[in-house]
Amino acid sequence: MNKFWESNLEKLPQDVREIVIKTIKHNRWRRYETINLIASENVMSPLAEAAYLSDMMHRYAEGKPFKRYYQGTIYVDEIETKTSEFMGELLGGAYVDPRPVSGTTANAAAFRVLAECGSKAVIAPVQAGAHVSHTKFGTLGALCIEHIELPYDEENLNVDIDKAVKLIESIKPKFAVLGGSVYLFPHPVREIADAIHSVGGRLVYDAAHVLGLIIGKRWRNPLDYGADVVTSSTHKTFPGPQGGIIASRDRDLFKKIGRAIFPLFVSNHHLHRLPALAITALEMKHYGELYADQIVRNAKTLAEALAAEGFKVLGENLGYTKSHQVVIDVRSEGGGAKSAILLEKANIIVNKNLLPYDPPDAIKDPSGLRLGVQEMTRFGMKEEDMKIIAKFIARVLKKREDPTKIAQEVKSYRRDYIEVKYCFELNPIDDGKLYLLF
């Protein structure tokens, strides 16, 4: 804690200090003392963080840039337009709407426009990683669109293309959704796009997890393979502020979805995200390919190193992974729930996950763990570090060493990796104090 806070904290009421400030301060542990392998998280650059804290967080700007229902929005209009342009350029040319406040909100707007209540949609099978928002338990269900899963190909851990095409031809759904939350290999975008187009439907690709890999050219851009709409979060492999976007090259469809975002799903779109998103986009324009390349190498190295430590790593016959994720089966280490808790005690943060062969009701204690390397890569870790992480994990789960002892080792290991890489160097944060830009 820096001098300003040290000398001034005492002036604050006790509950502010001991509840609010204390929890924020303690949560710095997540950022600086753990090996964070949660596959859906990342950190912004210091510059983007500083830009996030601006007066825009207090304002409203309903509607589209330069056509608002509020006065005083001229600078928001400018930054929103530019943010869309920067993101569109990164996606190889696309209209981009940055107003959805989350990936789920982006999905809601796209799904609402593509199908009405009572019609059908096909989604990637849950075993191939579909997100809850694609299902009857989430957004699709809330819109009362019928959820039909595409068939699953166990061998390839993916959509079964032949059976999927037949299913689409027979039920003629309004749209298909590909992309997911737990997937190691790209879904078959071209084949599903052709099938769904042949019955007059549309393809939505949910890029929440892989947006950073797409713009870094290490994952196929679904817009180049026939996807009509891309929905995404902006904070997973793409290391921006938490939020969502919609992208499309189809102007009419894009406009229709824009008219659903507001007023159906968003009124205030959390305007302070925009400058932070713009900065991240420009950073990714410069460093995105290097970053994505290192993520993919790190994931593959982590998978191989875990296999060498004796773990059952999914996708062995397919080279383990092409994304930022690694999935391991920890049944023989005591199951997903227990393993995740043990690792947390060792300052290694992961989440338990259902594996393709788990029954859906195993959700409380599934067989697997999902690991993502994007955040540790952002802090500068490379292949050699992945081997060390695999050793830490093996010492906790296989050798059953005392996790609190390993936590101390992890904490000191992290000391060399606290600076965010792949970003502009200007750093307005010093010793925990953020020097506000404004």
Ligand X SMILES: *Cc1c(COP(=O)(O)O)cnc(C)c1O
- Smaller CB separation from ligand X, 134 or 218: 134
CB-nearer residue toward ligand X: 168 or 245 = 245
Strand partners, 248: 95
Q: In the set 179, 216, 258, 366, which binds ligand X (CB under 6 A)?
A: 179
Question: Does 104 engage in binding with ligand X (CB under 6 A)?
Answer: yes
The DSSP call for residue 20 is I
- CB crowding 295-316: b at 16 or more within 10 Å, else e: bbbbbbbbbbbbbebebbbbbe
Closest CA to 325 of 372, 258, 265, 272: 372
Give the C-alpha separation, 239 to 228, whole Å. Answer: 24
Question: Among 244, 335, 336, 403, which residue interacts with ligand X (rule: CB under 6 A)?
Answer: 244
Task: Evaluate whether 365 touches 336 at the Cβ level (below 8 Å).
Answer: yes
Nearer to ligand X, 195 or 208 (CB): 208
The least CB distance from residue 176 to ligand X, in Å, is 14
Specify the residue, 124 or 343, whose C-beta has the smaller distance to ligand X: 124
Quick one: 46 or 180, whose CB is closer to ligand X? 180
- CB closer to ligand X out of 207 and 406: 207
Of the candidate spans 97-105, 221-229, 339-347, 358-366, the one that interacts with ligand X by CB under 6 A turns out to be 97-105
Q: Could you tell me the maximum CA-CA distance found in the chain, to the nearest angstrom?
A: 70
Does 83 help bind ligand X (rule: CB under 6 A)? no
- Distance between CA atoms of 250 and 277, rounded to whole angstroms? 23
Q: Which H/E stretch holds residue 178?
A: strand 175-178
Q: Does 97 bind ligand X (CB under 6 A)?
A: no
* Residues 6+ away with beta carbon under 8 Å from 337: 352, 364, 365, 366
Q: Is residue 241 near ligand X by the rule CB under 6 A?
A: no
Nearer to ligand X, 277 or 406 (CB): 277
- Give the separation between CA 358 and CA 43, rounded to whole angstroms: 32
Contact 375, 350 (CB under 8 A): no
Per CB under 6 A, the segment of 143-151, 175-183, 318-326, 370-378 that binds ligand X is 175-183
Q: Which residue has the tokens 């875990």?
A: 306
Closest CB 110 distance from ligand X, rounded Å? 11
Q: Establish if 180 lies at the interface with ligand X (CB under 6 A).
A: yes
**Helix, coil or strand: residue 351:** strand
Sorted by sequence, the CB contacts under 8 Å of residue 186 that are 6+ apart come out as 219, 220, 322
- Residues that contact ligand X, how many (by CB under 6 A): 14
Binding ligand X (rule: CB under 6 A), the pick from 42, 233, 237, 298 is: 233
Alpha carbon distance 339, 368 (integer Å)? 9
Tell me how far, at minimum, the Cβ of 181 lies from ligand X, in Å: 4
Nearer to ligand X, 238 or 413 (CB): 238
103 binds ligand X (CB under 6 A): yes
* 3 state SS of 367: coil
Position of minimal CB gap to ligand X = 103
Map the footprint of ligand X across residues 16-75, applying CB under 6 A: 40
Candidate residues 36, 158, 181, 374; the one interacting with ligand X per rule CB under 6 A: 181
Stretch that binds ligand X, among 153-161, 173-181, 217-225, 330-338 (CB under 6 A): 173-181
**Taking Cα atoms as reference points, which of 171, 105, 156, 170 lies closest to residue 133?**
105
User: CB-based contacts of 400: which residues, under 8 Å, 6+ apart?
Assistant: none
The C-alpha atoms of residue 357 and residue 377 are separated, in whole angstroms, by: 30
Please report how close the Cβ of residue 265 comes to ligand X at its closest, in angstroms.
11
Burial of 181 (0-12, 13-18, 19+ CB in 10 A): buried
In whole angstroms, the minimum distance from the beta carbon of 272 to ligand X comes to 16
Six-digit token string for 85: 């342009």
In angstroms, what is the minimal distance from the CB of 209 to ligand X? 5
Nearer to ligand X, 84 or 139 (CB): 139
CB of 44 to ligand X, least distance (A): 15
Name the nearest CA neighbour of 183 among 156, 204, 203, 217: 156
Residue 287 amino acid letter? Y
In the list 133, 158, 321, 353, the residue contacting ligand X (rule: CB under 6 A) is 133
CB 221, min distance to ligand X, A: 16
Q: Which of residues 192-231 bind ligand X (CB under 6 A)?
A: 206, 208-209
- Check residue 127 for interaction with ligand X (CB under 6 A): no
Q: Specify the residue, 241 or 335, whose C-beta has the smaller distance to ligand X.
A: 241
Quick one: 88 or 103, whose CB is closer to ligand X? 103
Q: Given the rule CB under 6 A, which residues bind ligand X?
A: 40, 102-104, 131, 133, 179-181, 206, 208-209, 233, 244
